[in-house]
Each structure stands twice: as structure tokens, then as C-alpha cells.
Amino acid sequence: MAVNDEHKANILVVDDLPEKHLVFGSILEDLNQNVVHAQSGKDALRLILNMEFAVILLDVNMPDIDGLETAKLIRQYKKTSQTPILFITAYVDELQAIKGYELGAVDYIPSPVVPEILRSKVKVFVDLFRMNRQLQAQAAEREALARSEAARAAAEESIRRAHFLSEASELLSRSLNIDETVRALFLIALPSLADMAAIAVVDGHGELACTDVLDAQTSKQAAPSMKTSGQRRLTSQATQLMRASMVSRELEMVAPQGLWEERRTGAGVDDTAMTLPKTIEQGVVCPLFSGDRPLGVLVLFGQRSQFTPEHTALIKEVVSRASIAMENARLYTLVQDADKRKNEFLAMLAHELRNPLAPIRNAVHIMHKAAVTDETVIWARDVIGRQVDHMSRMVDDLLDVSRIARGKVSVQTESVALRSLCERAVEASAPLIESRQQQLTIELPDAPVVIEGDAVRLCQVLSNLLNNASKFTPPEGRISMTAALAGSEIDIRVRDNGQGIDPAFLPFMFDLFAQGDQALDRAHGGLGIGLTLVKHLVELHGGKVRVFSEGEGRGAEVSVRLPARVAQGDIAAPQGPSRGTPLPAAAAVRVLVVDDLVASAETMKVLLQSEGYDVKVAFDGMSALATAREFSPAVVILDIGLPGMSGFEVAQQLRQLDETREAVLIALTGYGEAESRLRSRQSGFDHHVVKPADIDFLLGIISGVVAPTH
């Protein structure tokens, strides 16, 4: 049977005599293989570099390189190190045979050769060569098949993994409710990732709260909830392990027993270690993170063999996606809470602003009556004054919160005496405390304690705390302010025996607009920003503030700790804003009032005229400049927010006019932040007064102006 050339074996014949090549070719022709001829050892070596041979027929006696030397060189090549070599020789002595066999010869064939013997021996090696080739081809096929199967299995596993992760993402993204997200994580983890699972979530207090420990069966029942998860809780060992994993941010393999306590209710409460099935051999603690924020921990239970490197990689991917879903749920909850607080704040702001507007309107209505006595006018004036002051304080607090949120609040540090600071705060809060007939006790250190800080801001902090204590303490209740030096800090505490604080609300006491009592008929006013201001102002001074309460109806205590020391020399006492006492003004002092709000401009005109000043008004920038050229005022009270041309631009142009180059320019505006004050100075203003203006302060500025001589 003919054999295809590509399947023929190569037989190398090496001999220096051409006639021998002819003989060997005719003898081997019947084998139907590919016979290759080489005339010397060099030719043979060149051929074996490019071809693979089933057997080599090698003449021993050749010129140049003999057969033995050629065999030695052939054996040095890796490809021909095992190729059978048949030596052809007319004479073989014992030493030559030994050397030939040492070189790997398989046989010696005497010359002249017997055709049948030569043909049969060569055929054996050709058959072995072809069989070996066939085995190699089969092995290669099996290897290729194995690789194909492995690739197919890997592709199927990759598809299954991608499908599983896709379903996990879809399940985790169905809801932005944290309880539903925890429920989805249980459904994903069981039974695909483990036999049992537990989830602990970081609560609002920064503590780990266990939701539940479930297996595949129970996870399909009612969804676990952090609010109703009283059946399981973490042991101290579990808490330590989980906190360690959240620090390392790596998966931790742990012993599963002893991590959980089971609470059984009956005649009493029995806390015992929860017994896990015997099949549970391994626990894996998986921390849930969003950036640097710890969100909680997923704990998986199963057999050790389950947690292979590939399975662990899948767990990490699920944990990563669960972390994103939980962070989204957390942020959504925060947005909802913030929106709720905003709406409650806006409603409360409207309520609190209407409260002082009502008596103001009533007082104005009474003053419109035909028969109004002087006593009635004085009473109405006092009512309006008190309510305007109250509204001004609320607006100031709102502006302070805005500045703090934008990081625009700075403190003017000086050495402030603790005793003077407390006295000033008590003086500011005394009217409220006295009106409620409450008892205030003060206990301060005997040593002269000094605080490095802003006297005005620190007075604001303590006054805020005293006002809060008074508002939430019933009439004739008790309030105390105590201070004690502890090392390099002063601990100032304001305590009351009032309504106290719900423990659940304590972590949110310093949140903006947070209020424990949201009822419409609540007894206490306020916008819920006082303690937020206190916290930020104290922290600006490098201090800390904390709130304590044993519960509702048991009073509350606020502790403020600030850096302090015992005084070594003279110190500054807190100074209030300077109050100028208006002096009788000469009628020659001219004042120009510029305000686009006609009522504001006209009332300011009447007020200044009642003090004896010569006053004119303008309602926009262009008319103000025209009036200034004719009137030559010594003082200009200028609103910033004017139509067409801002007050800053008007001030700059007034400084260019001969008539007002030396005039006193007073910015009267609703903008009191540092940027507006700086811009006022840059525009040429001498003073910056925030609406509603303190009239005594404003008159004090004007009273110091000397009327120009003409």
C-alpha cells in the first residue's frame, strides 16, 4: 500500500562510495519510505539539522570524518540524541564495537549486507518511528482537546459568573431602602456564596448592628430589618474580628463558632452562643466599604472546601457591588432626611418669623387709633423694638450658619477672662430666665482662668446654651453653669432639670435644623440651629462640645471644653459693640440717604430729621449722584443693593466728586459677611452697617461728623 509522502519516514544513508548508495537504495526501496543519501559525515550533520530521521545507516570507514566520530557528533544534537544508528562495516573488532555501542549504536551490519536482514532491521525502526509519531499526534490531539474543554469550561464559568453578577447588581439596585438592600444581599449570598450568612451594618452611632443570621431556607422568608433584629446580636469576639477586618479592609478567614449570641425570650432573657450546624467549618468576614467609609460587614459560613481562590474572588466582586448599593441607599436616606429637615425648617422659619410680626402689626394698628396716649405709644414702641431685635437675632443666626457652611467664619483671638465671659453671657440671657422665674446658679474656679478666643463668639456660645436651658426648663426650674479647670482645658457645663432628651435623638443634637419636638403645638420656639452654631464655634476655638441626658423628663447637660490657662497678667474682658450716645447735632450737618426701598428711606429721613440733621433722599444711583452734587452732604447712608448701579459703584463715583470726596460713607445693607465688608472698604466706604441697623450705633457715627463750613 502506497504511503503519502508527508507520512513517509526519512532514512539517512551515510557512505563515501556511490555504488553503496545505489545498493542500499535498491534494498530499501521496497519499504516505500524516503531514503536520503549523504556522501560524508559533514553532509550527514548538515542534513540532520533540517530533517528528522527514523534510522541512520552509517559507514564506519569514511575519509575526513569517520563513522564513529560522525555518530559522536550526531548524538550531541538533541533532535538526534535518540535516533537509532546502524553501523555498516566490513570488519568489526571488539574494541571498535564497544566504542560504537557507547556512542548509541543499536547494531553492526557486516558488509556486504544481506538485503533481507538489512531491510527487516530498518523496517523495525521505521515502524517504531511511525508508531511514536502517531502516539505524539494522539497526545497532541488529546492536549488540544483538553485545552479546548478547559477554554470552553472557562468561558461557561465566565458567562455564569457574569450572569450571576448581573443578576446580583439588578437585585441590589431595585431599592434605595437600606433594609431592602440588606435583604437582597442575603438572597444573593445564599446559597450561591455560602451555606449561611450574617450581615452587620454600621448604624448612626458608628456601632455595628447585626441584622440577622440566615441560611438559604430562611433567607427566602420575611426580610430582615435592622429595626426589628432583636433575635441575634454580635459577641464581643465577633465585634473585634469585624472591626479588625474593617481596618485591614481584607477578607478574614475565622472560626465560625462563638461569633453570635441568640436571644430567647420566655420567663426571662437568655443570651447564649448560637449553635451552628456541624457542616459549618469556616467563616469569612467581608468588610463593606465606600471609599474610606465603613458601611458594615458580610459574614459567610460554609465548608472550608467552598472558599477556593476563584470563589473568594467572586465574593470580593459581590461585596464591592453590595458596598456601592448600600452607599447609594445611605446617601438616598441622607438626602431624604435632609429634605425632610429642610421642609420642616422652612415651615418652622415661617412660623417663627410670623410670631414677632403679629405683635408688630398689632402695635401699628393700635397706634393708628384716633385716641392714642403717650403711654400707648411708648408701649407700642417697646413691643416693636423687642420683636425687631428677636427677628434680627434669628437672621443673624441664619447668616452665621451660612458662613460656617462655607467656611467663612473666622475668630479674633485674644486673652479672655472666664469670669467676665460668663457674666456677659448671663447678662444676655437674664431677661429670658427672669421672665420664667427660673433659678440660675453659677460656680466658677477661684483662680483667674483665661481662654484664648473670640470674646463675642464665646459669649454667643454660652448665651445660646443658657437660652436653650431656659426654654426647655419649666417655670421656676433650676439651671446651673459650672466651670472646672482640667489640665490645659476648662470644662464649662450648663445643666437644667427640664424636659430632657430622648436618647435616640442625642446623636443628632448638633445637626442643622434638627429638633426633637416637631409637634405643631410645641411649647418652645427656635429654628434648630443654635446647637449647630455652638458646635462649630467651639470647634473653631479648638474645643469640643457634648450633650448628656438620662432621658425625657430628667434634664440635660451640655459640656463645652476649651483650651485655657490660669492668668499670669492683665487680660481683656469681653467688650460689646460700641454704642455711641447721640450728641445734639448741628442743623448744618447734611445727610444723604440712598435706598431703593421707599419706606426704608423715608423712615430713615424722618428719624434723622428728628435728631436735627438736614436730610435728603434718593432711590437709585444716578439720582443719588445728582443730589450729591447739589446737596454736598457730609454723610451718605447708602444701600448696596440698588437697581441699575450697585452701591459699591455709587460709592466709588462719590469719592471722585469734589462735593463728597471727604464725606463719611456708610454702607447700610443686608449683607454682613466678610466678603461684603472687604468690598465695602475697597469701594471707599468708611463704615459697614447691617440691616436692621442699630439706631444708637448709627447715630453715634453721624454725631461725630463735623459739619463742613461753606
Q: What is the pLDDT of residues 620-642, one digit of tens each?
A: 999 999 999 999 999 999 988 88
Higher pLDDT, 457 or 90: 457
Tell me: pLDDT of 583 over 70.
no
Q: How many CB atoms lie within 10 A of CB 323?
A: 22
Tell me: pLDDT of 445 over 70.
yes
Measured distance CA(601)–CA(693) in Å, rounded: 13
Measured distance CA(129)–CA(106) in Å, rounded: 14
Q: What is the pLDDT of residue 230?
A: 39
- Residue 591 binned pLDDT confidence (cut-offs 50, 70, 90): very high
Cβ(293)–Cβ(327) below 8 Å: yes
Tell me: pLDDT of 570 over 60.
no
Tell me: pLDDT of 276 over 70.
no
Residues 373-406 have pLDDT tens digits of 777 788 778 777 777 776 776 777 677 666 666 6
Cβ(298)–Cβ(286) below 8 Å: yes
The cell numbers describing 336, all together, are: 431624604
Tell me: pLDDT of 654 over 60.
yes
Cβ-count burial of 278 within 10 angstroms (0-12 exposed, 13-18 middle, 19+ buried)?
exposed
Contacts of 119 (CB under 8 A, 6+ apart): 27, 28, 30, 31
| Longest CA span, the chain | 159
Q: What is the pLDDT of residue 585?
A: 42
Tell me: pLDDT of 32 over 80.
yes
How many Cα atoms within 13 Å fall on the side-chain side of residue 582?
A: 16
Average pLDDT over residues 479-497: 92
Helix H or strand E segment including 479 = strand 478-486
SS3 123: helix
Measured distance CA(354)–CA(362) in Å, rounded: 12
Tell me: pLDDT of 481 over 60.
yes
Lowest mean pLDDT among 383-392, 525-534, 570-579: 570-579
Q: What is the mean pLDDT of the chain?
A: 80
Which range has highest mean pLDDT (271-275, 322-326, 547-551, 705-709)?
322-326
Q: Omega into 309 within 30° of 0, i.e. cis? A: no
Tell me: pLDDT of 579 over 50.
no
Question: What is the C-alpha radius of gyration for the chain, rounded to an integer number of angstroms?
Answer: 49
Q: What is the pLDDT of residue 441?
A: 93
Q: What is the pLDDT of residue 11?
A: 92
Lowest mean pLDDT among 202-206, 347-351, 432-436, 596-600: 347-351
Cβ(263)–Cβ(229) below 8 Å: no
How many helices (DSSP H) and strands (DSSP E) are in the chain?
A: 17, 25
Tell me: pLDDT of 238 over 80.
no
Q: Supply the DSSP symbol for 60.
A: S
Q: What is the pLDDT of residue 521?
A: 35
Q: What is the pLDDT of residue 586?
A: 44
Higher pLDDT, 692 or 615: 615
Cβ(286)–Cβ(242) below 8 Å: no
Q: Extract the runs of DSSP E, i.e. beta strands, from 216-345.
A: 232-234, 252-254, 260-265, 269-273, 282-290, 293-302
The cell numbers describing 400, all together, are: 452665621
Average pLDDT over residues 142-170: 90
For residues 423-452, b (16+ Cβ closer than 10 Å) or e, as one string? Answer: bbbbebbeeebeeeebebeeebeeeebbbe
Higher pLDDT, 533 or 103: 533
> What separation, in Å, do the N-terminal and C-terminal C-alpha atoms of the chain show?
139
Q: What is the pLDDT of residue 275?
A: 62
- Residue 457 binned pLDDT confidence (cut-offs 50, 70, 90): confident
Average pLDDT over residues 119-142: 89
Higher pLDDT, 345 or 524: 345
Average pLDDT over residues 172-195: 89
**The overall pTM is greater than 0.85:** no
The cell numbers describing 491, all together, are: 470644662
Cβ(596)–Cβ(647) below 8 Å: no
Q: What is the pLDDT of residue 270?
A: 47
Lowest mean pLDDT among 444-453, 492-501, 562-571: 562-571
Lowest mean pLDDT among 226-240, 399-413, 463-477: 226-240
Average pLDDT over residues 130-156: 89
Higher pLDDT, 643 or 707: 643
Tell me: pLDDT of 88 over 70.
yes
Tell me: pLDDT of 315 over 70.
yes
Lowest mean pLDDT among 94-98, 400-404, 593-597, 620-624: 400-404
Q: What is the pLDDT of residue 578?
A: 39
Q: What is the pLDDT of residue 572?
A: 46
Measured distance CA(557)–CA(549) in Å, rounded: 6
Contacts of 611 (CB under 8 A, 6+ apart): 582, 585, 699, 702
Measured distance CA(343)–CA(349) in Å, rounded: 10
Measured distance CA(37)–CA(39) in Å, rounded: 7
Helix H or strand E segment including 559 = strand 556-566
Lowest mean pLDDT among 305-319, 400-414, 681-695: 400-414
Tell me: pLDDT of 102 over 80.
no
Lowest mean pLDDT among 57-71, 85-99, 317-331, 338-352: 338-352
Measured distance CA(379)–CA(235) in Å, rounded: 67
Cβ(464)–Cβ(492) below 8 Å: no
